[in-house]
Amino acid sequence: MANLKKIDDYRWEIPKGYVEGMRVSGIIYSNEKMMQSLEKEQVMKQVANVACLPGIVKHSFAMPDAHWGYGFAIGGVAATDPEQGGVISPGGVGYDINCGIRLLKTNLKTEDIKNKIPALMDALFTNIPCGVGIGGKIKVSPQQEKELLKDGSKWAVKQGYGVEDDIINTEEGGCLQSANPDKVSPRAYERGKNQSGTLGSGNHFLEIQKIDEIYDEQKAKVFGIEKDQITIMIHSGSRGLGHQICDDSLRIMQKVVSKYGIKLPDRQLVSVPIDSPEGKDYFSAMASAANYAWCNRQILMHLVRETFGKFFGKKWQDLGMELIYDVAHNIAKLEKHKVNGKETLLCVHRKGATRAFPPNHPDIPLKYKSIGQPVIIPGDMGRASYLLAGTQKAFEETWGSTCHGAGRTMSRHKAIKIAEGRSIFREMEEKGITVRARNKNTLAEEMSEAYKDINMVVDIVHKAGISQKVAKMKPLGVIKG
């Protein structure tokens, strides 16, 4: 901490020289209280290590939810310039490629479902495949899986698992055009073939929520939400397929990194030039996994709509179950940003970070142009989640990025140990939150104490100006794998 420079109440600078080989400085978004936990988590060292990447531009960033991760801290953001020897790093994307979140609104109010939540959660738990290794209800042939990896959400909608507006309201239209299924290994295909439309385990979840507070009435109106309205949040990713692609790419890059003369302070940051054969192959495979994840969440949303429709005896359209937006958390993308006043194509790594593009940006849906991209920030299962909007300041400072969640404060093993002798299920019920999970250890791993206070995290990014609070959602029912 003594070596850091406090820029203002919500930004801290890690100077060049903190770690040998830093090409740029590091910037952490945090307050004084949260900086203590970031120091324990070795986040500062990881941010400084990332600052050593060849071709990195401006700064290495960390968001207030940052905690230790593989290579990059989870909550890390960095952009590299391909024309300046910029690299791409699987550690800057993560194992769960395009782990992300989507938020649906409904025309239901709390009063409409308050006595029905346990039964509704039972129905969802029956219809939504979740848990370690659990297969999906949507079966695909090898040829269909290739099409799915190429087309993402569009494939699902073509199969009848959604409508055109879902694609419009998904980051990148739910499809990275650079995907090439031929760059995906047979092992990755094998791990992914039965997992389309599955929630998974760990921190993945499905929540029924109510809008608890509105902070910006004008933006809330554009998003189509109001206080006491029921929303549904889905958090999942690319499952075993994405994990295998990351594993495959790390192994390949470790073998070839020496020929590019790249030396980094942490072998977990293994990287290759973006324009190298290995860099292009990873980018194509990573994009395929990202498309798989968007398709996965699209199918999950279809299953949620289907379940709600049967439960309430209405069409999902009559229940107003429209997608507000879907955002990616673990991804690398080629984006245009200004560097020294010049528009430059950069490779932006967001690992445990959310895109937060500003009003009038060409890549956000027309209906949100006036207020900025919807930014969805989930919290832990016992407290709250938030809907925010992207800002021009984020676009100028952090490559249009903000935090992605609460961020862990303890390992899963430690959380299970602390929860010994307690019933997290009963504690949640006492809070008025109905929970369904495959096993009690999952609930222990995901208890509120294992996470930072989401209210503080969101307050930091709001006051720092890299996203603006619109609404706060409280959980009513939660499904965990």
**Segment 88-132, tens digit of pLDDT:** 999 999 999 999 999 999 999 999 998 999 999 999 999 998 877
Candidate CATH numbers 3.40.50.1820, 3.30.450.40, 3.90.1860.10, 1.10.3300.10; the one for domain 5-84+98-480? 3.90.1860.10
| Residue 201 confidence (pLDDT) | 85
- 342-351 and 354-355 beta bridge pairing: unpaired
Active site residue 329: no
Q: Is 248 helix (H, G, I), strand (E, B) or coil?
A: helix
Spell out the domain ranges in the chain.
5-84+98-480
The 10 Å CB-count burial string (b at 16+, else e) for 227-264 is eebbbbbbbbbbbbbbbbbbbbbbebbeeebeebebeb
Quote the tokens at residue 404: 């992605």
| Residue 137 confidence (pLDDT) | 74
Q: How far apart are CA 200 and CA 198, in angstroms?
A: 6
* Inter-helix orientation angle 454-464/32-40, to 10°: 120
DSSP per residue, 9-25: TTEEEE-TTSSTT-SSE
- 25-29 and 59-67 beta bridge pairing: parallel
Task: With beta carbons less than 8 A apart as the criterion, state whether 323 and 102 touch.
Answer: yes
Q: How far apart are CA 69 and CA 271, in angstroms?
A: 16
Model pTM score = 0.96
| Residue 1 confidence (pLDDT) | 66
| Residue 357 confidence (pLDDT) | 98
Q: How far apart are CA 32 and CA 454, in angstroms?
A: 16
Q: How far apart are CA 82 and CA 101, in angstroms?
A: 29
| Residue 427 confidence (pLDDT) | 92
Catalytic residue among 59, 337, 404, 462: 404
Task: With beta carbons less than 8 A apart as the criterion, state whether 401 and 465 touch.
Answer: no
- 25-29 and 468-480 beta bridge pairing: unpaired
| Residue 463 confidence (pLDDT) | 98
| Residue 441 confidence (pLDDT) | 87
- What mean pLDDT value characterizes the chain? 95
Q: What's the helix, strand, coil split of the chain in %, to 5?
A: 40, 25, 35
Task: With beta carbons less than 8 A apart as the criterion, state whether 166 and 225 touch.
Answer: no
What tens digit of pLDDT does each residue of 240-258 get?
Answer: 999 999 999 999 999 999 9
β-strand partners of 384: none
Quote the tokens at residue 54: 């060849």
| Residue 2 confidence (pLDDT) | 67
| Residue 304 confidence (pLDDT) | 97
Which residue from 184, 116, 123 is spatially nearest to 149, judged by alpha carbons? 184
Tell me which residues of the chain have a pLDDT lower than 70: 1-2, 133
CA separation, residue 326 to residues 169, 298, 335, 351, 381 (Å): 7, 9, 18, 16, 19
| Residue 406 confidence (pLDDT) | 94
